[in-house]
Chain A
Amino acid sequence: MMNYFPDEVIEHIFDYVVSHRDRNALSLVCKSWYRIERFTRQRVFIGNCYSITPERLIQRFPGLKSLTLKGKPHFADFSLVPYDWGGFLCPWIEALAKSRVGLEELRLKRMVVSDESLELLSRSFTHFKSLVLVSCEGFTTDGLAAIAANCRFLRELDLQENEVEDHKGQWLSCFPDSCTSLVSLNFACLKGEVSLGALERLVARSPNLKSLKLNRSVPLDALQRIMMRAPQLADLGIGSFVHDPDSEAYIRLKNTILKCKSITSLSGFLEVAPHCLAAIYPICPNLTSLNLSYAAGIQGSELIKLIRHCGKLQRLWIMDCIGDKGLGVVAMTCKDLQELRVFPSAPYGNPAAVTEKGLVAISMGCPKLHSLLYFCHQMTNAALITVAKNCPNFIRFRLCILEALKPDPDTLEPLDEGFGAIVQSCRRLRRLSLSGQLTDQVFLYIGMYAEQLEMLSIAFAGESDKGMLYVLNGCKKLRKLEIRDCPFGNMALLTDVGKYETMRSLWMSSCEVTVGACKLLAKKMPRLNVEIFNENEQEDCSLEDGQRVEKMYLYRTLAGKRKDAPEYVWTL
């Protein structure tokens, strides 16, 4: 029936098909749909920047407007990927700049971004609107200055958790007076100072500004002036919140805050003085999102007092100084809670911090909870079984027991049954991170029940190859598997080599796989890049087949062996 419609009609119908997966599916139906889909596609997501070349991407999707790219493997966040591994933005920008693509939006995660790339980006695309950089590195405030100065229609500049070198060049002052289009500005991760005057003037001429996240150099009095000029703000990240509660500035701030009724999302507090938090109680009842995970200066008791005012919270990121009792307060107060992240406040966690009790309390009070990241000192099977019963809607469940290999403290048993209950109850689970003492049994459960699982992170777990095989055989939708310090070896790696082409990537470090097995895998599967990191400075040559591999990263690719790998990376 669809064949009788002219292309324009089909294009119009395709406009309503938005998700990447659905659009990918459309393109597979027939040649004519493939053709129409490719010319109308505007947004593309590339989960691994080495899976395809920029040239090929541009050739297929000439109408590209929005590109998302991810570079380094996830474990790079934990310093497991050596410096200079890769993930360079440069070739992508160069290729896009040479083409006729009218890029408007670029979202990057774990990529190496140079000032030159940012400069080229800012000059090459007249309608560029949105730049989002998450966990990137390699650039300085000079690159930001180029973006500010040259992107005339910039709507969004969002910098999240990047390592940025500060060149004290007043980048923020580079936004021209004609720039009035900003909707979102986040520079919380920058270390250096910005011109406060320039910042206030920028805010004053940006009537559409909805999201503003300041860094710690912006003091409280400047915050007050900014908030006066932007009562329409919905998302605020506070830099410094330090002032004498009796001062004029603080009283002015309190009054200004009373006018900001549209703030629904609050974060930051990178520097906090005690007894200052009461000023924000008036906006707490409107908050749906609260991120205090970088507010190291807030004590547990103050945190609890604050949360009592936040009845509408859907998303809460905090540090473990809140304690089990504090989580009890969250459970009583935040009935709409959907996402919770509890981070450790000290390198080995606060000894008085959170345990299984806090999590159980949350599960009882917050049945809508679907995303969890929880760093704690201990966990029991009984608690996990209770949580599984109370919260069957988990999509993301990441549990990190700070002491690896720790069993259930009550029964001294591994946590197989607890995690087993989670996967059995939460049929929509897509992401899972395990910890604590675990045998092969937990993987049997995962393989049996976690049908929707897409990403699995494993550390210090399992007893034999069977564990890994249960997962590879059972989890049909698995896309990313990352494993460290587990006794999985060559048999697990090589039993089902075809599986890896159905996945984005596999990471294995400090496991039992050998060079020979990796070579064999690479030979059998030419469309995988199998990378081994040889960080041993003394070895200057061949790796023996029987040698154990310290780090291996493999991923499916249409681009072949990459040409930008550093010396220690061996692509087999």
Chain B
Amino acid sequence: MEKEGLGLEITELRLGLPESVVNKNEKKRVFSEIEGVGDENSSSGDRKMEKKNEVVGWPPVCSYRKKNSINEASKMYVKVSMDGAPFLRKIDLAMHKGYSDLAFALEKLFGCYGMVESLKNADNSEQVPIYEDKDGDWMLVGDVPWEMFIESCKRLRIMKRSDAKGFGLQPKGSLKGFIESVAK
């Protein structure tokens, strides 16, 4: 949202339209960049990673109501562990719209960057997000549709790439095997 080179002329009263008109689409793009975090189909090219994950005060439901009318049964808290972190955290999966949204939340929670990248390109990222499903199996996050994922996810773990021994040279299909052996 930086405005370079405006200086003092913005305070001049003029009859013409101000420069902000030229940038009219920036405003919309800003929100869609934020919003689009949860949008699975959008390109990641010029996404600004440092943008806030959530828009404060939207939707405009008053804070008292937000705290008191969400169905208790609809909350889906799961434990999240990150290798190297001294304690675990908890996250409510129901509060997130999709994988990108979740990745941003995890980044904020642990201060680890690269979660969003790791979802898109598991082979090359430093961290691997995995989850334990209803059967007790450890799965790579991102394979199944979001709704299916939140139903079956019991806990999350952010694993270091280096802990998956020998990975990087293996094709994607063998990742599960590595994860299972490491996660035991």
Give chain A residues whose Cβ lies under 8 Å from the Cβ of B62.
77-78, 135, 161
Q: State whether B20 touches A400 (Cβ < 8 A).
A: no
1/0 per residue, CB under 8 A from B, across A463-493: the answer is 1111000000000000000001111011100
1/0 per residue, CB under 8 A from B, across A5-25: the answer is 000000000000000000000
Q: What's the Cα separation between A517 and B72 when bound, in Å?
A: 47
Q: State whether B94 touches A347 (Cβ < 8 A).
A: yes
Choose among A77, A403, A514 the residue that contacts B63 (Cβ–Cβ < 8 A). Answer: A77
Q: Which of A145-153, A338-346, A381-389 is the interface stretch? A: A338-346
1/0 per residue, CB under 8 A from B, across A156-194: the answer is 000001110000000000000000000000000100000
- Looking at the assembled complex, report how far the CB atom of B110 sits from the nearest CB atom of chain A, in whole angstroms: 22
B59 at the interface (CB under 8 A from A): yes
A43 at the interface (CB under 8 A from B): no
- Looking at the assembled complex, report how far the CB atom of B182 sits from the nearest CB atom of chain A, in whole angstroms: 34
- Looking at the assembled complex, report how far the CB atom of B33 sits from the nearest CB atom of chain A, in whole angstroms: 11
Q: What's the Cα separation between A349 and B21 when bound, in Å?
A: 33
Q: What's the Cα separation between A346 and B75 when bound, in Å?
A: 9
Choose among A344, A463, A516, A545 the residue that contacts B59 (Cβ–Cβ < 8 A). Answer: A344
Q: State whether B20 touches A405 (Cβ < 8 A).
A: no
**Nearest B residue (CB) for A460:** B31
Q: State whether A344 touches B17 (Cβ < 8 A).
A: no
A348 at the interface (CB under 8 A from B): yes
> How many A residues touch B, CB cutoff 8 Å?
54
Q: State whether A405 touches B69 (Cβ < 8 A).
A: no
Interface residues on B, range: 35 or more
- Looking at the assembled complex, report how far the CB atom of B171 sits from the nearest CB atom of chain A, in whole angstroms: 35
Give chain A residues whose Cβ lies under 8 Å from the Cβ of B72.
296-297
Q: What's the Cα separation between A349 and B66 when bound, in Å?
A: 12
13 extra interface residue pairs, beta carbon distance < 8 Å, beyond A463-B24, A464-B21: A78-B57, A79-B56, A79-B57, A294-B65, A345-B70, A347-B70, A402-B59, A465-B20, A485-B30, A490-B18, A491-B17, A514-B6, A546-B7
8 CB contacts below 8 A, A to B, read A78-B63, A293-B69, A296-B72, A346-B74, A347-B70, A405-B35, A465-B20, A485-B27
Query: A: which residues have CB within 8 A of B?
Result: 75, 77-80, 135, 161-163, 189, 270, 293-294, 296-297, 319, 343-349, 375, 400, 402-405, 433, 437, 457, 459-460, 463-466, 484-487, 489-491, 494, 512, 514, 516-517, 520, 545-546, 548
